Structures are given as structure tokens and as C-alpha cells.
Amino acid sequence: MNADFNKELFKREVKENCKRLFRKTYDEVSNREMFQAVSLAIKEFIVDDWILTHRAYEKQDVKILYYLSMEFLTGRALGNILINICANEEVKEALEELNFDLNAIEDEERDPALGNGGLGRLAACFLDSLATLGYGAYGCGIRYRFGMFAQRIQDGYQREVPDDWLKYGNPFEIRRPEYACEVKFGGTVTATVDEKGREHYSLKDYNSVMAIPYDMPVVGYDSNIVNTLRIWDAEPINNFNLDSFDRGDYAKAIEQENLAKNIVEVLYPNDNHRVGKELRLKQQYFFVSATLQTAIAKYKESHNGTLEGFADKVVFQMNDTHPTLTVPELMRLLMDEEKYEWDEAWDIVTRVCAYTNHTIMSEALEKWPIDLFEQLLPRVYSIVNEINRRFVLRIKTLYPNDESKIANMAILYDGQVRMAYLAIVGSFSVNGVARLHTEILKARELKDFYEMWPGKFHNMTNGITQRRFMLHANPRLSDFITERIGKEWITDLPQIRKLEDYIDDEDSLREFLRIKYENKLRLVRYIREHNNIEVDPLSIFDVQVKRLHEYKRQLMNILHIMYVYNKLKNDTEFFRNYYPRTYIIGGKAAAGYERAKMTIKLINSVADVINNDASIHGKLKVVFIEDYRVSNAEIIFAASEVSEQISTASREASGTGNMKFMLNGAVTLGTMDGANVEIVEEVGEENAFVFGMSSEEVMEHERLNDYNPMDIFSCNDELRDVLMQLINGTYSPDDPELFRGIYNSLLTNFSGRPDTYFVLKDFMSYHEASMKTQDAYRDRLTWARMAMLQTCRCGKFSSDRTVSQYIDEIWHLDKIRI
């Protein structure tokens, strides 16, 4: 209940909005129109707090966090805002009184899909936590015209469809042309020397665009704080003077127009894989430069026009290396615009910049060819060059006789700019996103940097917001919890441990199972509607939803399903014992990632065969969820029972899906990778199904290069049968060669190494662990206890905890008083 929310007033607003927007009375509008009318009314309701929050920033002169991220995977806004202003029930009632259904209205909102996966969703969770805890923060990103593509499955293949998410407008955003600023590309640098002998640099013959910010509200839970997600759009510079234009100006104007159109056109759909497209570097500079310009202007405005004290009042958190240009661009602005000397400027930069690493996958580490970089950003490049020169000098002084250190650490090396190294050198803090991940960074990937600056390194184990992934996604379980332990868990997740008082209470356990069952029915309906597949709600819901990537090993999952299917057909004992199971898999593959796309095709081909085989009596079903995204994720997590977290150990930095499953009472079937390690630590090994090689074992095999999948192939008949089915047409009768590439990837050496994801190596241990889940599942109360324990023990994995840790160790923000 929100005391300030007046239902009657709200209804009146909504009716007015229907007229204002659509020239219709409320009983004539469609659901989509009603969504607009409702959203506008809600925006009105929060706008005062939004204004007051920003006034408080200034009055209280609080330190401000700028969270720079190329991705914010916020998911739908309306439902989340209603939850966070505690007016969900009232709005639901109000709409019922107007003969509308809130769920249906929420379903009209397009997911703003401004992110790929984990990194983007984490950014959204952090914003939710910051606003809830009451800290001043801006999310800073890009307003992509087309977000993450929508995935369609056609004939089993992924097809990418443009995501025109702005088609019907975005009711919550506000365009802020008054904060527009210019961002320049290309050109040549000219230096002039003043009477004091100081050099001044400026650009000429450049192209430029205007960056126009759009602000989206980030509403804290029951906190009256409304922070801002500021996403930048690009527009052509409007200095095109018709009276004086000649051919040259005309061509230039068109060029600028195209630059502006292209820059924010699309989110690159790559996750953990760099493509090295010039346009992406443009995007990076575009939003970084615009963010820094406004941050500086804003600070000066409220501090008598000076930048004094700037380093104590702002912090720029770089979400992976994508915004690393923050380091040299801030140098440029401080020196070229604000007239600081190098040393003073460097002192400021290295007190305000901090870097989070989200991956150790080498193909994800960003590097830019020097010539491309220099041509696009000549002045910024000269600064990077100077940063590198000074840093290399330092390496030489520290390690006078060790040439390898330069090769291992220099920012400019081998014709490339190594962005991660630039980020580390320019930051006061470097952090990994789970304990294991940070340890691997320190011991391996970033070893030399850790040796040089041990104090810079931090671990910040990821977290998720329980407001979206429990309160909004799973209202039934939310009520169950609140009825028993009160509602403190909503803003203090560790309180959820109190639920453990009920862990041996049979009524509670049965109720817990009943709720899971209801949520499974909701997913059954979703699958019926979207896949036209009938699944058994009494079967085990075993789920893997995440981006498709070889290291995440969806392939191991589907091979194992093929393996089980064979056994069901050939082994009557196995059949009799087998507990019915529904495998649910979902996720997008990067548009250019052939192997991942073929894995999707394989999953769908296998699903087709299995789901239509009457001889197994529906014991096994396979469902591929099309277009996995935040909105359907909420339905999926709530209905899941087994959480597949099966990456090759050492490869998954953290994972955050694993935490969403845990929160919703799904038991982990996983490797000791990423945050799984910490999840298992919380629930105890007896309440998880752990399998496979440890990260040390994986790294040792990598070092020795002694893994030979053929050994396994030749002595495991059943597994060999599965692999042979990839190339004998069992799942592709029209083209038996279709899955040859996948087959080869598991067995053949590429560049001297066989399958670097160790699929066959972990396979049998995976199978055993999977079988153990069904043994546990059989005893309903044992299972209920294990499942509920996941929920009880997930306190650590709230993004409220993560954000608080960032604040204590890195950001040092002050709470806003409202």
C-alpha cells in the first residue's frame, strides 16, 4: 500500500489520458492504448519524487556515481515501477473497475532490450538497488534505435528479426535537448603554443554529431528516490546554413546526417566475443564523451564554475572495457578544455575511474587496431600514446631486466590498443564478479598487474534484485514468504533465512510445492501458446536459459538428452526408473556465431523427434523457448526446479541466472564455476548437484594439452552412439551431414587442441549428477525441503549486498536524505 496513491484520482487521470492521447473514452481504447494511458499516469505520479531526488543531489552535494555501460537490460518498466511504488494492488483494482486486466496491460509493453545478457542485466539490477538503498547514481548508456534482435525459430533455425522497440513510443522517457552536447570524430589535431609556452590542442576538419539525452526514471522500492537512466541518442548537427552552402558544405551535411543515423542504430548482438567493427568504437566514444561532458558541466554548475573537489564527488564505474575511453577522454577534457596540466589531470582521472572485468574469455577482450583508433580519435589516441609511454617507463624502472613485462603489460602492443590494460592503468579499482573469477584474474589473466598494484584489486560477487525476480516474477511465493516472516526480505534479503524456521514444517513444504506447481502451470500455458507443445506439469522442469555459447555448453545438455532418449528406448530398467522430465532450453545466439546457431538447430531437431515419439509415453519432452528475454525469464524462473549451470569450470565469470533460479527455489545442477561455487557454499554440497572438473583441473589440462576426447569416444559405447547420431541422419534425415561440424568440434584437433570446452570429459559425471536429481525429486518432501532451502539461503545474492560492497570499498557514496 502506498499512502500517497489515490485510486480515484488515478482512474480520473487514466480516463483523461485516453481522451488526450487517443480522442477516445476509456471504454473504447485497446489494451495497447490503455498501457500508454496508464504509463503516463504513473509517470505523473512519480515525477515529483524524480525532481526532488535530483534537487537533493545538489542541496546535499552528494557524491554521484556514473555507471557507464553499453548495455542496460532493464526489461519492462511499468510492472516494476508499480511494484516499487507499492501501488500494484491499487492499480490492479482500479483497472478492474475500468474493465481492464493489469497483466494484459503489462504485456503490451515491449521489453527495452538494450543489452545482450548478463552484463546488461546486472547493470539494471544495480540501478534498482542503488535507488532502493538511496544513493545518487546515473546509469549512462546508448538509446539504440534497434535493441537486441528478436529471435524467431523457423524450421528449427534461429532467424533474427529487428527489434523496433520504439515503434509505439516509450512512455516513460523524457527527451532532454537542453543537455545536448557535441561529439567529434576524425579530423586532424593542431597545436598552438601560447605566450607561456604551453601547448593547446584542437581538432579541425572533423565530423561531429549532437548527443541528445533521454532520461528514464529508476524508481527505488518504497524509498521515494527516483534516479535516472540516461541514454544518448545521436542527431545531426544543425548548423547547416542554407544561404551560404556550397557543394562542400552540402556533402558534409549529408555525411554528418548519416553518421548520426548510424551511430545509435543497433546494439551489437555479441556476447563475450569481439567483432572489431569501427562503428562500435564510435558508439563507445559517443556515449563516453557525452557522459563526461555533462558530468563536468553539471559539477561546475553546482560548484561555482570550478572543478575543484571533482575527484571527491564523482566516480565513473566502467562496466567491462566497453567504456574504457573514459580514461583518455577525461584526460582530454581536463587538459584541452579545462586547462589542467598532465599530472593534475592524471591525478583526477585515476581517482575517479574504476573498472569491472566480466569475462576471462580471451576472444572477448577488446583490442582495437592502432591505425583505426588513431584515425577515428586522433587527439584521444595521442593521449593514449602518452599514457602508454609513461607506463612503459614505469615498467622498465620496476623490472629493468625483464622485457617480457612490456610484452605482457603495455597498452599499445603489436599494432593494437589493449583496452583492458588501459582501463587498469587508468583506474583506482579493478574488480572481478565472483570470488573464483577474481582469483583467476589475479593468478593468471592479470597476474602482472596484480603484482604491481595488489591494492587495486577487489572482488564484488554479483547479485540480482529480488524486487523484480521474486516480488514481480513470483507473487505467489512472495506472499508465502511475507506471510511467514514479514516483508523485510524485500529490502534486506538475508532476512529470508528466517524462513528456515519452516524448513521442517510439512504444511509449509506442501504449500511451497503447490506454489511451484501453480507457477509450472503458468509456464505450461506459455509453452502451449508459443510452442504448441503439451508438457506435463508433474514432470521435472529442468531448465537452461542464457545466451548460447560454447563455453556454457548447451551442447552438452542436448547431447545428454539424446543419451537419455537412447536409454529410454533401449533399456527397460532405465525406462521404468526414469522420472518424467521436461527439458526447457532458451537463449539467443550471436547472429554471426555459426556453431551456436547450429546448436539451436540441433536442440530443435532433437526436440522434434523426441516430442513426437509415442513409444516413450511422454516421459521426456524438450522445449526450446523462442526469444528468451527479461519478460519471459520471469515466468521461467518461477516455474523451474532444476537449474542447469554447466559451463566449463573457469570460464563463466559469475553467472546471475544461477541466482535467479536459486531465489525461486530451483536446485543447481552445475560445475564449480563462477558464482556456483558460492551458491553451493551457502546451501551446502548436499543440497546441490555438483559435477565435472574443477577449474584447477581444467587449467591443468590446458597447460599440459593432454586431453584426448578420442579415448572417451572409443571406450564409451553409449556416448559414441550419441555422437554417431550426429552424422548418420538420426536427427537430420534429409541431410545426414548437417551436424558434422558439431561432431568434429567435439573430437578433432583445431590448431593443436581438441574441444577446449571438455564436453566429453565432463559428460558421464554430468549424467550421474542428473540422475541424482531424479532420486531426490522422487521423495516429494525431501525435494521440497531442498528447494525451499535454496530460497532461504539466497540472502547473499541480492544486488543490494553487491552494491553496498561497491559503496564501502570502491565508490564511497553518501546516502541521500529525503
Q: Which residues bind ligand 26W (CB under 6 A)?
A: 116-119, 122, 270-274, 320, 358-359, 364, 366, 433, 462, 652-656, 674
Q: Is 358 annotated as catalytic?
A: yes
Instruction: Pick between residue 652 and residue 755 the one whose CB is nearest to ligand 26W.
Output: 652
Which residue lies nearer to ligand 26W by CB, 63 or 282?
Answer: 282
| H helix or E strand, kind and range, residue 611 | helix 594-611
The smaller minimum CB distance to ligand 26W, of residues 143 and 358, is found at 358
* Residue 802 C-beta: closest distance to ligand 26W, Å: 10
d(CA 808, CA 800): 12
DSSP 699-762: HHHHHHT---HHHHHHH-HHHHHHHHHTTSSSS-TT-TTTTHHHHHHHHS-BTTBS-TT-HHHH
CA distance 480 to 790: 15
Residue 69 or 557 with smaller CB distance to ligand 26W:
69
Query: Can you give the C-alpha Rg of the chain in angstroms?
Result: 27
Smallest separation, CB 651 to ligand 26W (Å)? 8
- All 3 cell numbers of residue 722? 550419441
Q: Would residue 552 show up in a list of annotated catalytic residues for this protein? A: yes
Distance CA 67, CA 124 (A): 10
Q: Which helix (H) or strand (E) holds 208?
A: strand 207-219
Closest separation between CB of residue 645 and ligand 26W, Å?
10
Residue 251 beta carbon to ligand 26W: minimum distance, rounded to whole angstroms: 33
Q: Which cell numbers hold the place of 502? A: 519452516
Q: Given 660, 785, 793, 796, which residue is catalytic?
A: 660
- Candidates 437, 552, 619, 793; catalytic one: 552
252 is a catalytic site residue:
no
What does DSSP assign to residue 367?
Answer: E
Cα distances (Å, whole numbers) of residue 806 to 223, 465, 802: 20, 15, 6
Give the pairing of strands 353-356 and 314-319. parallel
Contact 73, 124 (CB under 8 A): yes
Q: Is 660 a catalytic residue?
A: yes
Cα gap 160→152, rounded to integer Å: 6
Contact 142, 283 (CB under 8 A): yes
Residue nearest ligand 26W, Cβ-based: 118
Catalytic residue among 274, 546, 581, 601: 546
Instruction: Give the C-alpha separation, 197 to 220, whole Å.
Output: 52
Minimum gap (Å) between residue 355 Cβ and ligand 26W: 12
Q: How do the residues of the chain divide into helix, strand and coil, expressed in percent and rounded to 5?
A: 55, 15, 30
The least distance separating ligand 26W from the CB of residue 274, rounded to whole angstroms, comes to 4
What CA–CA distance (Å, rounded) separates 312 from 352? 8
Closest to ligand 26W by CB, 121 vs 761, is: 121
- Whose Cβ is closer to ligand 26W: residue 271's or residue 634's? 271
- Whether 651 is catalytic is no
Rounded least distance, CB 318 to ligand 26W, Å? 11
- Residue 173 or 320: which CB sits closer to ligand 26W? 320
Distance CA(328)–CA(245), nearest Å, equals: 35
Cα separation, 795 vs 694, in Å, equals: 25
**Segments in 377-505 forming alpha helices (H):** 378-398, 403-409, 419-426, 435-440, 447-452, 466, 475-485
Residues 637, 477: Cα–Cα separation, whole Å: 12
Task: Check: CB of residue 41 under 8 Å from CB of residue 85.
Answer: no
Find the shortest distance in angstroms from Cβ 468 to ligand 26W: 16
**Which residue, 184 or 274, has its beta carbon nearer to ligand 26W?**
274
Query: Least separation, in Å, of the C-beta of 746 and ligand 26W?
Result: 22
The CB-of-764 to ligand 26W minimum distance in angstroms stands at 26
Q: How far is the CB of 366 from ligand 26W (least distance, A)?
A: 5
Q: Which stretches within 302-400 are classed as H helix?
A: 310-313, 326-332, 342-352, 370-376, 378-398
Distance in Å, CB of 153 to ligand 26W, minimum = 23
Cβ closest to ligand 26W, residue 483 vs residue 594: 594
* Residue 626 near residue 153, CB atoms below 8 Å: yes
Give the CA distances from residue 789 to residues 461, 643, 673, 760, 794, in Å, rounded to whole numbers and listed in that order. 21, 14, 21, 32, 9
| Of 116 and 465, CB closest to ligand 26W | 116
The DSSP bridge partners found for residue 188 are 204
- Judge whether 813 and 63 are in contact, CB under 8 Å: yes
CB-nearer residue toward ligand 26W: 426 or 655: 655
SS3 per residue for 635-677:
HHHHHCCEEEECCCCCCCCCCCHHHHHHHCCCEEEECCCCCHH
CB 170 within 8 A of CB 178: no
Q: What is the H or E stretch that residue 689 is in?
A: strand 689-690
**92 carries an active-site annotation:** no
Which entry of 145, 274, 282, 358 is annotated as an active-site residue?
Answer: 358
Closest CB to ligand 26W among residues 17, 272: 272
The helix (H) or strand (E) run that includes residue 633 is helix 630-639
Give me the catalytic one of 43, 280, 405, 547.
547
Q: Active site residue: 491, 656, 668, 802, which one? A: 656
Q: Which residues are catalytic?
A: 358, 546-547, 552, 656, 660
